A and B are shown apart, each in its own frame.
Chain A
């Protein structure tokens, strides 16, 4: 084989072991005599060695899980942004309010309500314990990070939230909104991001909202850690059932108007679905993942690159019974033609938020007034949730008409008060002794 007859293609074939034995022997003989070809073969061999080293990529399951999680989160966010029935994000709303532009200010305010009520307290203390139950709650107690979907309503068609939780920080997306909320529970601040408009705003959530805007699994955690304090309550085993595709074992604890049900995978004892019933509200936690890798950037309170920060901060503190009364008035007037809702449930209000927003936006009032109405709506519902969390209440608005005098529609006992507050269908409120409450 003379140098003239040896092609680069043949040298490659030689290095790759693709030549026959006879041709390979000829090539070796040639290489002993030909320095340029020897150099080329040496370089090709170095190239293959280098490629071999590059092919060795360490397997790091955590890194893979983290990347998968991020892409699923991004896909979900994109879907939400593209939802045909989306309402504007809080940030978009805030932006409009701040800029005093017309259009959907109210929808924005409504979105604030959605975001805010998502965090309100759902449960009072619960109790009970058993060895198996202890296994089930262990990951709930010990997880350093959690990813979870929260769905309002028993039929799972209600609005849903997706939370990624790391320490005191939460990244929250809402199914029918295009925004992302980064919540710092310790600092009492929320960074609201609008991926469409690339705008950001900080929201002050200190006070009751800070207490109420929470990591839902953290709430479950608080409850189960208090189990030992109430030996009068016990865990009911619900047996095995297929839940969301898992062979699961159920446990249930009830206290007063609150019921907590945990379905754990039979094989691993990992909680797969948690149901929380409080009064008329029903919440489902599912797709629960413990100790998922969470990039700090996902829960960072810094404004992401490319986002414009609105210079105003919104304060969501302070709500009163009067806000709640105004909320009932708006809901009745704008949505139900003067009737009152059949029930007061978070999912009912949230399900109608978009329409309510459009109704407010369509009112023939100034922009500032629309904004005020939207915020009132939010404060009113926050008030209701606080009442529901703190003490006893009763709703009896079914069949009542707005303005009807003497017809009590809602009564509750303020914390520390001997008397009750009763709200009537004409929306006046009065103190009433327990013995004089409506039957």
Chain B
């Protein structure tokens, strides 16, 4: 396939890749890295791709995996450090504090996500961050709907357990 068709691919799906990576990583710079890694990896083997690739689905999967890999490598750095003795709160109130807490919770969730088994993390990202219907999640994960649901349910249970007090209640 030609350089022009690669350029078309980047221009058509670059936004999708960047947004998905941003949702997972909560960091535009890291999302840029993922965007570049995803497309350069494709470009390096461009002559091996043929017309049968379903690009939106393929790019979702690759992006989520790359973003989670990166998140795993950087999880420790991306989580704000809580001052010692401070008690975590749930995000239940309004005001500046709750904004900060919401931001921290998102970072904690992103970090926890990176520690999940890959299939569970993928199911969570596609279902809850990309807001895809279960049918579509299953299609993009290459599995049945019940299997996709199981992965998602386990991801939710594990995340709720891991984030514990940060989620309040």
| A264 to B15 Cα, complex, angstroms | 27
The answer on a CB contact under 8 Å between A9 and B153 is: yes
A5, CB-defined interface residue at 8 Å: no
Check if A57 sits within 8 Å of B19, measured CB to CB: yes
- A50-B105, A78-B40 in contact; A13/B153 too (CB < 8 A)? yes
Whether A366 is near chain B, meaning CB under 8 Å from some CB there, is no
Query: What are 28 A-B pairs with beta-carbon distances under 8 A?
Result: A8-B157, A11-B157, A12-B157, A40-B160, A42-B90, A42-B169, A43-B163, A43-B168, A43-B169, A44-B156, A44-B160, A46-B91, A46-B167, A47-B109, A49-B91, A50-B106, A50-B109, A50-B167, A53-B102, A54-B23, A55-B23, A55-B128, A63-B28, A67-B18, A71-B10, A72-B6, A75-B40, A78-B40
> Chain B contacts of A75 at CB under 8 A?
3, 6, 39-40, 43
Smallest CB-CB A-B distances: 10 pairs? A42-B169, A51-B128, A68-B14, A43-B167, A46-B167, A64-B15, A75-B43, A12-B153, A71-B39, A8-B157
Q: Which residue of B lies closest to A8 (CB)?
A: B157
A343: interface (CB < 8 Å): no
**Min distance, Cβ A113 to any Cβ of chain B, angstroms:** 26
Assess whether A47 is in contact with B156, with CB atoms less than 8 Å apart: yes
Instruction: Classify chain B's interface size.
Output: 35 or more
Chain A's interface: helix, strand, loop or mixed, by majority?
helix
B78 interfacial by beta-carbon distance below 8 Å: no
The distance in angstroms between the C-alpha atoms of A15 and B127, with both chains bound, is 14
A46: contacting residue among B11, B44, B130, B168, CB under 8 A? B168
Residues of A within 8 A of B124 (CB): 51
- C-beta contact mask, B1-25 vs A, less than 8 Å → 1, else 0? 0010011001100110011001100
Once the chains bind, are B26 and A54 in contact (CB under 8 Å)?
A: yes
Q: Is A70's beta carbon under 8 Å from chain B?
A: yes
Instruction: Tell me which of A9, A11, A49, A71 contacts B35 (CB under 8 A).
Output: A71
Q: Does A28 contact B (CB under 8 A)?
A: no
Q: Once bound together, how far apart are the Cα atoms of A65 and B18, in whole Å? A: 10
Chain B residues, CB < 8 A from A9: 153, 157
The yes or no answer to A315 lying at the interface (CB within 8 A) is no
In the complex, how many angstroms separate the beta carbon of B132 from the nearest chain A beta carbon? 10
B32 at the interface (CB under 8 A from A): yes
Q: Is A48 an interface residue (CB 8 A)?
A: yes
Please give the distance in Å from B102's CB to the nearest CB on chain A.
7
Whether a CB of chain B sits under 8 angstroms from the CB of A74 is yes
Contact A72 B36, beta carbon cutoff 8 Å: no
Chain B residues with CB under 8 Å of chain A are 3, 6-7, 10-11, 14-15, 18-19, 22-23, 26, 28, 32, 35-36, 39-40, 43-44, 90-92, 102, 105-106, 109-110, 124, 128-131, 149, 153, 156-157, 159-160, 163-164, 167-169
A54 lies within 8 A of B160 (CB): no
Chain B residues lying within 8 Å of A59, measured Cβ to Cβ, are 15, 19
CB distance from A159 to the nearest CB of B (A): 16
Assess whether A71 is in contact with B36, with CB atoms less than 8 Å apart: yes
- The reply to whether B164 and A43 form a contact with Cβ atoms under 8 Å apart is yes
Give the residues in chain A near B90, CB-CB below 8 Å: 42, 46
With A47-B160, A55-B23, A55-B129 as given contacts, are A42 and B167 in contact (CB-CB < 8 Å)?
yes
| A39 CB within 8 Å of chain B | yes
Give Cα A361–Cα B146 distance, bound, in whole angstroms: 67
Enumerate chain A residues within 8 angstroms of B10, measured Cβ to Cβ. 68, 71-72
Considering the chains assembled together, what is the distance between the CA atoms of A337 and B157 in angstroms? 80
Kindly state the separation between the CA atoms of A209 and B109 in the bound complex, as whole angstroms.
55
B102 and A74 contacting across the interface, CB-CB below 8 Å: no
A220-254 vs B, Cβ < 8 Å mask (1 yes, 0 no): 00000000000000000000000000000000000
Q: In the bound complex, how far is the Cα of B147 from the Cα of A77, in angstroms? A: 42
Q: Contacts of A399 on B, CB cut-off 8 Å?
A: none
Please give the distance in Å from A117's CB to the nearest CB on chain B: 25
Q: Once the chains are docked, how many angstroms separate the CA of A12 from the CA of B26?
A: 25
Across the interface, name the chain A residue whose C-beta is closest to B153.
Answer: A12
User: B102 and A64: CB pair below 8 A?
Assistant: no
CB-contacts of A1-49 with B (<8 A)? 8-9, 11-13, 15-16, 18, 38-40, 42-44, 46-49
Within 8 Å CB of A38, what residues of B? 169
Residue of A nearest to B36 (CB): A71
Q: In the complex, A74→B38 CA distance in Å?
A: 12
Please, which residues of chain B bring their CB within 8 A of the CB of A70? 32, 36
Given contacts A9-B153, A12-B156, A52-B128, contact A57 B35 (CB under 8 A): no
One digit per residue, 1 when the CB lies within 8 angstroms of any chain B CB and 0 when it does not, for chain A 65-96 equals 10110111011101100000000000000000
Is B43's CB under 8 angstroms from A63's CB?
A: no
Which of chain A's residues have a CB closer than 8 A to the CB of B110?
54
- Among B11, B106, B128, B168, the residue within 8 A (CB) of A68 is B11
A11 partner residues in chain B, CB cutoff 8 A: 157
- Residues of chain A with a CB closer than 8 A to B109's CB: 47, 50-51, 54
A42 / chain B contacts, CB cutoff of 8 Å: 90, 167-169
Complexed CA–CA distance, A79 and B3 (Å): 10
A68–B38 alpha-carbon span in the complex (Å): 11
Q: Which residues of A contact B91 (CB under 8 A)?
A: 46, 49-50
Contacts A9-B157, A54-B109 given; indicate if A47 touches B169 (C-beta within 8 A).
no
In the assembled complex, the Cα of A23 lies from the Cα of B113 at a distance in Å of 30
A350 to B107, CA, bound (A): 53
